[in-house]
Amino acid sequence: MMTAAARPSTMDVDCRDESGETVVQAVAGEHPLTVYVDRREVLTLMTLGAAPEALVLGYLRNQRLVERIEDVVSVQVDWDVNAASVVTRSGLVDLDQRLAHRTKTTGCGSGTVFGDLMADIDAIRLPPEGEFRQSTLYALGERVRHHETIYKQAGAVHGCALFAPDAELLYFVEDVGRHNAVDAIAGMMWLDGVEGSDKIFYTTGRLTSEMVIKAAQMRISCLVSRSGLTQMGLQIARQVGMTLIGRAVNRRFLIFNDPGRFVYDVPTTSTGTPVSPAQGGR
């Protein structure tokens, strides 16, 4: 049982530009959403509010506070009180212990159970199978460009997307926090029973350790970002066997890790640049 309580994503405000003219600019929403599980307050998320129910479910999943979607009876979001009420079948996994752990972490930043996540990562090895074609990478890049509506209007948000192996766009979520966008997609996958192992995950955000850890937990084997990555994000991708592609903009990209999935299938010009009809540079 679930509400569908999306907030309007942007609002227009007046501002003055460099020549002193008043201009109207769209600004991204940001709202506190306090999560209650079985009437107990767990935390407050700051969110754009576009997919609050999926966000809450994905947060509980990625923090491993709930093990199976079947354990969740209902998620009800009420923006009059900025609250999300979750009812579970049999309570959260070790809530007290996990809340105690959370106080030890922040991250770059995200309030995640970092120590626990790293322990979890040691047990994850992604299956080396699967193929990720250059033409698929370009196709999904094209699709993302047509979906980033809030970013184009207002900036100040990150987008995440999940793609099928044939570059079909399955989910696209934007949020003020890049980790919220990942969590919301994790929640949607849970609700729809979608497996991650043959999917491609795209994010506009940087590939820090936590982003790679969350993707690995979702069993995503191919992670693509328009931005750069950190040394620890790379180290974890190598450890779990994830194909990691950064700086994917237009026809350019850098493969930072790949255990044999990536296939170059786009002809290049004599200068080494893939053939491209009037694409901009990086």
Of 208, 204, 237, nearest in space to 220 by CA: 237
Looking at residues 78 to 117 of the shown chain, list those that interact with a copy of itself (rule: CB under 8 A). Answer: 99-100, 102-112, 114-115
Beta bridge partners of residue 37, listed in sequence order = 40, 86
CB of 193 to a copy of itself, least distance (A): 27
Binding a copy of itself by CB under 8 A: which of 37, 47, 50, 189? 47
Q: What's the CA angle centered on 149, arms 79 and 155, to 5 degrees?
A: 80
Which amino acid, residue 108? Answer: C
Spatial neighbors of 38 by CB under 8 A, at least 6 apart, are: 86, 87, 88, 91, 92
Question: Which helix (H) or strand (E) covers residue 179, if one does?
Answer: helix 178-192
Q: Is 66 in the site for a copy of itself (CB under 8 A)?
A: no
Taking the C-alpha atoms of residue 54 and residue 50, their distance in angstroms, rounded to an integer, is 9
Q: Is 273 in the site for a copy of itself (CB under 8 A)?
A: yes
CB of 70 to a copy of itself, least distance (A): 25
Q: Is 41 in the site for a copy of itself (CB under 8 A)?
A: yes
Binding a copy of itself by CB under 8 A: which of 15, 74, 91, 166? 15
Taking the C-alpha atoms of residue 162 and residue 192, their distance in angstroms, rounded to an integer, is 13
Measured over the CA atoms of residue 228, residue 189, residue 265 and residue 241, the dihedral's sign is: positive
Looking at residues 121 to 140 of the shown chain, list those that interact with a copy of itself (rule: CB under 8 A). Answer: 134
Please say which residue, 107 or 195, places its beta carbon nearer to a copy of itself: 107
CB of 81 to a copy of itself, least distance (A): 14
Q: Candidates 124-132, 160-168, 172-180, 191-199 — which segment interacts with a copy of itself by CB under 8 A?
A: 172-180
Q: What is the DSSP letter of 71?
A: G
Looking at residues 243 to 272 of the shown chain, list those that interact with a copy of itself (rule: CB under 8 A). Answer: 246-247, 251-256, 258, 264, 268, 272
- Say how many residues make up the chain: 282
Q: Candidates 121-129, 159-167, 170-178, 194-202 — which segment interacts with a copy of itself by CB under 8 A?
A: 170-178
Binding characters for a copy of itself, 221-240, by CB under 8 A (x = yes): ------xxxxxxxx------
Say how many Å lie between the first and final Cα of the chain, rounded: 45
Please say which residue, 3 or 25, places its beta carbon nearer to a copy of itself: 25
